[in-house]
Every structure is written in structure tokens, then in C-alpha cells.
Chain A
């Protein structure tokens, strides 16, 4: 196991000061459900970590609130708290369902939304719904604050474009009026399963016509993102089995274009199509 020093600030400012003074060798820990495993396995990704900054005692990072049309979720909110939030359950059920498929009860009680976003695993379950919501994240450092589109902090797996001196404090999003959502996950078992693939869909339909559609597959693209080429096949169209099938097929094609043919492609290609089809049918309420 890698060895490290440990600090436990109680304010955002103190945390940022510690990060700023650590010249890139500090790593923030919240639930620790990913970081501790990396440290124990002596994973190269965390080989540079000399200091662990525990933010779990920063009370200001623990909230779920509405702010006009915007829903704001503090970085320290756990998967379990998201799943049990009445606001989130009624407005973004695919997000709460996704957090409820993370790991096990123990992991969902420790793991936080901020940690899940910053770990940047391509298989993270809560991330595709957030990207479908066009969510934004707030990043604070000793130098100031910046707000980014969540989709824009992802470039390569496990390497979000977050500065080593920055602390992710919040994720926020607006829910389009009349939105229906779906989250479909395929794992190798029913609990403690890392997503083999997952898909989040958000849809707004008026009089049978698709007005807004967002399709975000997980674990299939180099980075988690909306597949606009597939969305374009549905916008302004009737949601039918045929149009859904075309859009689902497109997601598989985009995967091939972006990721190329890999060892897993013969499996992933038909299956991501099927999973997308199911998620679209559920969100668009097509039998």
C-alpha cells in the first residue's frame, strides 16, 4: 500500500489552501471507495499521491437544494442520500436509480457524488444521467471559482481536467419541463457490479413528437458524452419502435467510429444497441 500523510480541513478555504500548498501531490478523499483501493493496490494512477486531504468534515459541502429552476447537489452528498432525496426522486428518477445501482449499501453510504464525478471512471453509474441533464460542476481553488459543463471535464478515462489545486464543490442542473428519463444498466450480477455498460436517456415528447432527447451511454465511448448523431435521428420525429431502433443502432455505430474495434467490440456492439433501445423505449414510453 502506498503511504501518505493525512489532513482534515473543516472549511472549503482551508482545503483549497492545503491543495495549493501541496504542489500536485495531494489527493482529495471523501468516501474513499475508489481512492483507498488505488492506494492499496499501488495503482500507478495514484503513485504521485503523498498527502490525502479528507473533506468529509466540511459541512458546507453537504446539501441538496433547489435554487429557482436549478437543483444543486453538494459534493459530499452520498449515493444513498441521493437515492432517498424526495426532490431528486420526483424530478430526476434516472439519476436516483443510477446511484442506487452503485456497489452495495456500504459503498452507497460512503461514496459521494463528488467522488464519483472526480474519479472519472467510464463505468460510473451516476455520471451518464448528469451528462444527460447537461449538468455543471463548480470548482474552487485558492485562485478562485470556475463553473464548467460536466461533460467538458472529461477527456480521458480517470483523468478529469480538474486542477490538482481545485476542489469540486457542487453539481447542478435544470430539468426540462415534461422530461421523462430512463437508466438502464448491465452488470455481471445484481449488486456490487461495475457497469459492463449503461445508458441514460432524457426525453421530452409533445403529441408523439420528440422535442428534446439526450442519449448518454456509459463504458462504451472514450469519454462519457451525449451521442448527438443518434439524438438527431429522433428530434422532431414520432417516437416509434423504428425510429428508436435507428437511434439505438446509431449509438453502436458511433461507438465503433470513436473507439475502434477492440477485444470487447463483438459483444458491446449488439448489446449497447439493445440497452439503448430499451432505455429509449422506456423514456419515450413506446411499447
Chain B
């Protein structure tokens, strides 16, 4: 098998130490909440804490009268209550518990608390809609004007309802009726997933300062996507974007989450900074973050799948509905990915799926590591195993017959034209984990503690694909002492991007890793390269860094050639910051001398390169076409012990195998995989934002239960490489692949252990023992 280790590079493909490791472990790193300015005010928000209500009356006079209160603002007081991205800075019509009805800036935290309590609000409660099923009922109250209804099962403009029209994606491949007609076995199944919290350790924080020196409104923010945050600040203040500057501070976790709420609080802090003329800090408490930050979309899946007796899958039909919450600016992108992957990594000729989101009076759903894939893979892999059971066929046999291979057509009819090591990976992992013997032995256990094993095969389109333009730009600057500054619009979110980009730039230039510094994002320093999402930073956006590095190297070698008096027949190269004549290493010169010469001879010292994505054409009505430049394949085996007397699931071991194309840094890849296992395990076993009539039952980490270090299983990360030219140096995505298969594998392992299938996550104590939750929430 093509395990990592056969490729040859100078800087990438090696376990370079993370550039930010020392700052983080010593506490030297400064997060947004650590930033302090003189005369700074403390700001906070008054949340509605109602699922659906109009503000009948709001009286801020008592709050304003308090000593030390500098501003109390309601929706009526600000320029533009609704942000460019659907959510409100401040509203007078509360549509979920996290909606904000007033904002305050005060001298101290204590005065702020007093002021928030002194605001008097009268509400008129309105009927709400909470679950996917309720939202789709014909007589459901319409909670958003832009909602539409179904006509013959299809979201249709001009009708009334709660469907988020822009989030509708259809997939039509082959002829579904003919496909099912040829099947010997057809099954229909329903699966559901829950709202999940990102649970980053650092809650959202911003500090806004208007500095007359530069005339800018600068916001230091715990932002995953500073260029998106900039849109909120310019939008909230009604200023041009060149007057709004965002500095991304060290981020204490994000996973897709530090987007909407960070944008909103950046806007609110900027409004208050402008209103008071003082710097304003707004740090969200954990409880506030839990109700106003985005969540993983809960999905309801209704699938029908059919195969011949011999195990050839001929048809799949599905309706995938996700709960978007009260506002949304993500489902319309997320569902594109959900649709593309809605039939799993199998070669199925006839497919019909419909994917759409619904508005409800709940916390809003957003981007969360995987961007629909953990949910879709959970449902799809259960479905395929239930099909194997209905066929009375070994699951591995069924997978062997149907798994996507080189040259096959995907669900979107994209031909897999790059090296496809998927089936080989599956066989290798099955052998390494002894999956088949364990699976068979587990079926005949007795006793209270039962072992289970689950196998997931999945694939993921790398980067943004046809969802949106996957472009990026990078800047490389040479300094006279031989050091370099690099930057791009892509952010360090804890995933190791600074380290990866430094390695890629070093590789491309022939410069030492240690000679390069990547500062981080100030939106006034470099252009927007799109969001740091979709596991695209290294794979797609970094192509511009490779290009910029190569262009810089060309310039450096021109000067080296001159300084080394190389003839036109001699070749020069650069390795480890030393240029030399190939074949005559004694004729060499340091990059410091080269850069110094370029400075004093007036030569170009900086290079900026842009990478435009290759064109991908997809038909929006059929979901057919080329969805992604390439795909990353994953195989995951989870092993559990289930206590059948208590329902407790003890995850013992997770083997997580990934097709990395080219590994840029094996240590950071393993870090991603281990963290992804923890996150996938929480999704599968304990994590759920418990919603009931729009209220959230768990507001902090005492009641929102995610795995601790004590819960972590034995973990085996297997890194495969292959030849696929699409990504930077052949690299493929890993940030999201690291977590997307784990929950599904654990759910399958539970079914293997108990003989009972988990139809709805999480598989907590009650669901495993009784088959249902006893908590108040019910289905989202």
C-alpha cells in the first residue's frame, strides 16, 4: 500500500515543528480578549431569550441614567439593524432565543451588568416552529417572509412555507424508476441527527477602536474569516471597506464557528465605538456563545435504496432536510456539498435526491467541520449496512462490488480521472484491523458488555469545488538580511496553516523553513483570498504560495547567476537558503547576499501571485457535472464496548486512514486526525444542544457533554499518499476528512455490538438502552 514515505522533498513532507507552538504553550500568545486599550469600554448584549416574539415596548431610560453607562442602543437607534448576512445586529422582532434587543457600553463589567438588567422590555409572544417536521406542515406559521412551500415535493417559489429556497439542491442521475424496477431488494430508512456545538475553548471576542491617525475602524477579532468580519463592520457603520480593518488575533479554536457571531459582535462593537468615541471591547460569555453562535445542522434523512440479489446497487432516492434555525447564510452553500455527497462513495447509476433547509425558531445552523458530511455519512453508511443485511450479504462484499474506483462516475457523473486508491485503502484497513473476523465474532456474543466494530468508507470533494470560486493570493517579500515575510488571505485557525504555508514557501523558494515569517491576517495588508474553510487552505489556496515562491526563486536565481558568474551553460539552484552552481557546490552564495544585492541594485523584492481555480461546470437543476477538482478518500474503523445494562458506549479504538495525496507535515496531519476523532466521538455519543420549543437546555460545558482526554480511545492514524496533481504539491484535504467518518463508524460499531441500530444521534445512555431519548428536547 502507498503509505507515506516514498516522496522526496526538501522542506514539505516533514514533521517541522509548529511555528506557533511555543507561543501557545507558554501563554505568550495574545487572544482577542487579551487586547487592552486605554479608556476602553466594556460592551454587552441583551438577548431576547424568547423563541418568537415582537418587542412591544423597550425602555432604556433607567439603564442610560446609570453612572458609567455610555451608550444603550436598540434597533431603532442604529443605521441598519439587519446585517448583510441575514442575522440582526439588534432586532425588535425576536425569532430565536439568541436574538439581541439592545446593546450597551459601560465603564466596567459590573456597570454593564447593572445596565443590561435595568433595560425594561415587554414582549408579545408569537407562535413558533421548531422541528423539521413542524416546519414542513402545510398549516405551519410562516416564520420568515422568504420561506417557500413544496409543490409535488419540490421547493417552489411563490408558495408559502418555511423552506429556505436558496438552499435547495436537486440531484438527478439516470432513471430512478427504471433503476428500482431492476432491483431485487429495496429498503426505505429514516435517520436523524442533532444540533451540535463547536465548543471551542475561546468564546468569541472583539475589540473595536477608531484611530484618528489612520481614519480606520479597526477591530481585533477572534475571527475565522476576517474578510467576512470586515463586511459586517463596513455594513454596520455604512462605511466603505477600505475604512474597516480587521486584525485576526490568535484563535482559540473555530471549526467553522467563528463566523456569524464574530461578525455580528464586531459590528456591534464598532457601532458602540463610533457612538461613544472610545475603544469598545465585547467578549461573549460561554452561555451567550451557546445560544447565539451557529450549530451543526440537524438533518432528517429519508432514503430508499435498491440492489440486485448479487449486490449491485442500482438506485438510490433521498430527501435530506436540514434545520437552518431562524436565520441563515450557510445552508445555501452547505447543501450543495450535502447534495454532491448524498449518495455516498458508491457507483450507483440511478440517483434522485432533494436537499433543502427549513427555517425554525431555533438557534441557527452554520459551518461546522465537515459542512454536512458527518451527518450525511452517518445516514449513508447505516443505509448501506442495512442494505447488506437485507441482501444477507457481507458488508465488505457489498462495498467491494460498489465502491468508487478509478474511471468510475460519481453521483454527479464526474469521472474519477486521478489515481484512486480508495478500494486498496479499504482492503488494507480491513486487514490491519482484522475487521471481518471481529465483526463476525461480535454477532454471537453473550454477556452484558458487548464488543462492536464499525467500518466506514467515504470520500470528500477537496476544497470549495463548484460551491464557489476556490481562488487565493499570496505575497512573498525578500529582506536584505536573507529573511522573508510571507502572507496570504488564508488564516491560522489552529489547524497549523502558518506552519504548512511556511513549509510550502520554503520548498518553493529553496529557503530554510526558519528564515520565513508568516505574520497573520490584517485585512489591510493583503487581499481577500476567500474564506479559510472547506479544508482548502493547504490544498487549494496554497497553490498561490507555491507560485509566489517559485516566482521569487526565479528572481533570486537571476541575481545568484550574476554574482556567481555562471555561464549560460551552467545551471544554478537554491537549497537551504544557499544558491550554488549545480555540480559545483563550492561556487555558492547566501541568500542574504543575494537579497542585499537586489535591494541596492533596485531589483524587485516582492512577489504577489494569484491562483485561479480551474473551471468546474455543474448543472444546478440536475446536480450533474464536475463538482470538485479531486477527492480525498477516507476509511475509518471504530471499535467499541457497549454496556448493555446501562447503554454506556466505551469507544476503545479508532483507526482513521486517509488519502493525503502528499503529506505536507505528518505531525500536523496526525494532530488533525486525533482531534477529528475526539470531535467525531462527541458527535456520535454525547453531544447535543438540547432544544425544546426553541429554548436551549444546556448553556455551558457542565451540561453540554463532550469527550475529555480520559475518554479518548486508542488512535491509529494511517497516512496514504498517491499521485494526484490537483492540489498544492499533490496535497489533499484532511481537516474535515479527519472527523467526518468517525461518528458513523461508532454508530455502526454500536449496531454490531447490540444488534440494535442507532437511528438518531447522539447514541447517549438512554438511546442505546431504550432506543429513545428521555430528555425534553425531542427531534430537531
Residue B707 CB within 8 A of the other chain: yes
Query: Given A37-B702, A267-B770, A270-B645, A189 and B711 touching (CB < 8 A)?
Result: yes
A186 and B647 CA atoms in complex are apart in Å by 10
Q: Which of B727-775 contact A (CB under 8 A)?
A: 764-766, 769-770, 774
Q: What B residues does A191 contact at CB under 8 A?
A: 708-711
**A190 lies within 8 A of B686 (CB):** no
Q: What B residues does A264 contact at CB under 8 A?
A: 774
Quote the shortest CB–CB distance from B694 to chain A (angstroms).
20
Output the nearest chain B residue to A278 by Cβ-Cβ distance.
B645
Residue B648 CB within 8 A of the other chain: yes
Contact of B702 among A194, A196, A263 (CB under 8 A): A194
Output the nearest chain B residue to A3 by Cβ-Cβ distance.
B110
Residue A162 CB within 8 A of the other chain: no
**A267 lies within 8 A of B711 (CB):** no
Query: Given A186-B648, A266-B774, A271 and B769 touching (CB < 8 A)?
Result: yes
Digit string of A180-224 for contact with B (CB within 8 Å is 1, else 0)? 000000101111111010000000000000000000000000000
Residue A1 CB within 8 A of the other chain: yes
Residue B646 CB within 8 A of the other chain: yes
A266 and B771 CA atoms in complex are apart in Å by 11
Residue A140 CB within 8 A of the other chain: no
Residue A275 CB within 8 A of the other chain: yes
Contact of B705 among A188, A263, A270 (CB under 8 A): A188
Q: What A residues does B774 contact at CB under 8 A?
A: 263-264, 266-267
**A271 lies within 8 A of B645 (CB):** yes
**B710 lies within 8 A of A188 (CB):** no
A267 and B110 CA atoms in complex are apart in Å by 43
Query: Given A194-B702, A267-B770, A188 and B764 touching (CB < 8 A)?
Result: yes
Residue B394 CB within 8 A of the other chain: no
Output the nearest chain A residue to B645 by Cβ-Cβ distance.
A274
B645, B686, B702 — which one has the most chain A CB atoms within 10 A of its CB? B645
Residue B113 CB within 8 A of the other chain: yes
**B113 lies within 8 A of A192 (CB):** no
Contact of A190 among B113, B646, B708, B765 (CB under 8 A): B708
Output the nearest chain A residue to B707 by Cβ-Cβ distance.
A189
Q: What A residues does B711 contact at CB under 8 A?
A: 189-191
A188 and B707 CA atoms in complex are apart in Å by 9
Contact of B765 among A194, A263, A267 (CB under 8 A): A267
Q: What A residues does B766 contact at CB under 8 A?
A: 267
Q: What B residues does A275 contact at CB under 8 A?
A: 645-646
A274 and B645 CA atoms in complex are apart in Å by 6
Q: What B residues does A190 contact at CB under 8 A?
A: 708, 710-711
Q: What A residues does B776 contact at CB under 8 A?
A: 263
Query: Given A267-B765, A267-B766, A188 and B686 touching (CB < 8 A)?
Result: yes
Interface residues on A, range: 20 to 34
Digit string of B348-388 for contact with A (CB within 8 Å is 1, else 0)? 00000000000000000000000000000000000000000
For the residues of B in contact with A, the DSSP-based class is loop
Contact of B769 among A1, A3, A188, A267 (CB under 8 A): A267
Output the nearest chain A residue to B708 by Cβ-Cβ distance.
A191
Contact of A186 among B448, B646, B708, B709 (CB under 8 A): B646
Q: Which of A220-260 contact B (CB under 8 A)?
A: none
**A192 lies within 8 A of B708 (CB):** yes
**B113 lies within 8 A of A189 (CB):** no
Q: What B residues does A266 contact at CB under 8 A?
A: 770, 774
Q: What A residues does B647 contact at CB under 8 A?
A: 267, 271
A194 and B711 CA atoms in complex are apart in Å by 15
Query: Given A188-B705, A267-B766, A274 and B686 touching (CB < 8 A)?
Result: no
**A189 lies within 8 A of B705 (CB):** yes
The interface size of chain B toward A, counting residues with CB under 8 Å, comes to 22
Contact of B646 among A189, A194, A274 (CB under 8 A): A274
Q: What A residues does B113 contact at CB under 8 A?
A: 1
Contact of A189 among B708, B769, B770 (CB under 8 A): B708
**B645 lies within 8 A of A189 (CB):** no
A25 and B169 CA atoms in complex are apart in Å by 61
Q: What B residues does A194 contact at CB under 8 A?
A: 702
A195 and B289 CA atoms in complex are apart in Å by 26
Output the nearest chain A residue to B706 by Cβ-Cβ distance.
A189
Q: What A residues does B648 contact at CB under 8 A?
A: 186
Q: What A residues does B448 contact at CB under 8 A?
A: 274
**A196 lies within 8 A of B707 (CB):** no
Q: What B residues does A270 contact at CB under 8 A?
A: 645, 769
Q: What B residues does A188 contact at CB under 8 A?
A: 686, 705, 764-765
A270 and B774 CA atoms in complex are apart in Å by 14
Q: Which of A82-113 contact B (CB under 8 A)?
A: 104
Q: What A residues does B764 contact at CB under 8 A?
A: 188
Q: Which of A149-201 contact B (CB under 8 A)?
A: 186, 188-194, 196
Q: What B residues does A104 contact at CB under 8 A?
A: 708
Q: What B residues does A189 contact at CB under 8 A?
A: 686, 705, 707-708, 710-711
Output the nearest chain B residue to A189 by Cβ-Cβ distance.
B711
Output the nearest chain B residue to A277 by Cβ-Cβ distance.
B645
Output the nearest chain A residue to B114 by Cβ-Cβ distance.
A3
Output the nearest chain B residue to A268 by Cβ-Cβ distance.
B774
Q: What B residues does A267 contact at CB under 8 A?
A: 647, 765-766, 769-770, 774
Q: What B residues does A196 contact at CB under 8 A?
A: 765
A270 and B776 CA atoms in complex are apart in Å by 20
Q: What B residues does A271 contact at CB under 8 A?
A: 645-647, 765, 769
Q: Which of B601-620 contact A (CB under 8 A)?
A: none
Q: What A residues does B710 contact at CB under 8 A?
A: 189-191
Quote the shortest CB–CB distance from A43 to chain B (angstroms).
12
A196 and B770 CA atoms in complex are apart in Å by 16
Digit string of A13-41 for contact with B (CB within 8 Å is 1, else 0)? 00000000000000000000000010000
Output the nearest chain B residue to A273 by Cβ-Cβ distance.
B645
A37 and B701 CA atoms in complex are apart in Å by 12
A179 and B774 CA atoms in complex are apart in Å by 38
Q: What A residues does B770 contact at CB under 8 A?
A: 266-267
A78 and B636 CA atoms in complex are apart in Å by 43
Q: What B residues does A274 contact at CB under 8 A?
A: 448, 645-646
A194 and B705 CA atoms in complex are apart in Å by 10
A3, A186, A271 — which one has the most chain B CB atoms within 10 A of its CB? A271
A104 and B774 CA atoms in complex are apart in Å by 27
A37, A188, A266 — which one has the most chain B CB atoms within 10 A of its CB? A188
Quote the shortest CB–CB distance from B765 to chain A (angstroms).
7
Output the nearest chain B residue to A267 by Cβ-Cβ distance.
B766
Q: What B residues does A37 contact at CB under 8 A?
A: 702
A200 and B709 CA atoms in complex are apart in Å by 26
A3 and B710 CA atoms in complex are apart in Å by 35
A224 and B766 CA atoms in complex are apart in Å by 23
A16 and B199 CA atoms in complex are apart in Å by 43
A179 and B336 CA atoms in complex are apart in Å by 65
Quote the shortest CB–CB distance from A92 to chain B (angstroms).
24
A214 and B268 CA atoms in complex are apart in Å by 60
Digit string of B476-516 for contact with A (CB within 8 Å is 1, else 0)? 00000000000000000000000000000000000000000
A275 and B769 CA atoms in complex are apart in Å by 14
A1 and B113 CA atoms in complex are apart in Å by 8
28 of the cross-chain contacts (CB-CB < 8 Å) are A3-B110, A186-B765, A188-B686, A188-B705, A188-B764, A188-B765, A189-B686, A189-B705, A189-B707, A189-B708, A189-B711, A190-B708, A190-B711, A191-B709, A192-B702, A192-B708, A193-B705, A194-B702, A196-B765, A263-B776, A266-B770, A267-B647, A267-B765, A267-B774, A271-B646, A271-B647, A271-B765, A275-B645
Residues of B within 8 A of A (CB): 110, 113, 448, 645-648, 686, 702, 705, 707-711, 764-766, 769-770, 774, 776
Residues of A within 8 A of B (CB): 1, 3, 37, 104, 186, 188-194, 196, 263-264, 266-267, 270-271, 274-275
The 3 closest A-B CB pairs, nearest first, are: A274-B645, A191-B710, A190-B710
Contacts A186-B646, A188-B705, A274-B645 aside, 14 further interface pairs with beta carbons under 8 A come to A1-B113, A186-B648, A188-B765, A189-B686, A189-B705, A189-B710, A190-B711, A191-B711, A192-B702, A263-B776, A266-B770, A266-B774, A267-B647, A270-B769
